[in-house]
Amino acid sequence: MIKRLTPWVFLLLLLCIPRPALAQTASITGTVKDSTGAAVPQAKVTTHNSATSANRSSTTDESGIYRITSLSPGNYDVLIEKPGFKTVEYSLVALTVDHVQSLDATLAPSSVTEKVTVTGEVRRPDETSVARQIQFGLRFKF
């Protein structure tokens, strides 16, 4: 008889444990958009725990939404980046037990500096073909 009751007693005790004692983690979620308000897919979101130096990463989906779960409580630096955009950084984001922190970001385009170098020789036009083109133009008067 006691063997039959043991699983039920264990289950009853498990249900009596307060919920905060079971959940010892936090989450960060948000939406990443560009300066026009359009979603930014595949942006990289990285969390860095200041105390433990633990890093976690995720990428945004097609709607620009991300979610990083199972984070230990503490202070985090959050970096949101995508090539072609300026990086957004949140510092000392405090997470507590069973907390879901919402961090939305708007990414501005980054300035791109390009240098194009063209090398080659300068070719002078053939004087005979230029003279023919001038005569042709005078003859038909466009």
Q: Tell me, letter by letter, the H, E, C secondary structure of the chain.
A: CHHHHHHHHHHHHHHHCCHHHHCCCEEEEEEEEECCCCECCCCEEEEEECCCCCEEEEECCCCCEEEEEEECCEEEEEEEECCCECCEEEEEEEECCCCEEECCEEECECCCCCCCCCCCCCCCCCHHHHHHHHHHHHHHCC
| pLDDT band for position 9 (cuts 50, 70, 90) | low
Average pLDDT over residues 85-89: 94
**For 23-62, what is each residue's pLDDT tens digit?**
589 999 999 999 999 999 999 999 999 899 999 999 999 9
Q: Is the pLDDT of residue 130 over 90?
A: no
The CATH superfamily label for domain 21-107 reads: Immunoglobulins (2.60.40.10)
Statement: the pTM of the whole predicted model exceeds 0.75: no
Residue spans of the domains in the chain: they are: 21-107
Beta strands at 44-49 and 105-107: parallel, antiparallel or unpaired: unpaired
> Is residue 122's pLDDT more than 70?
no
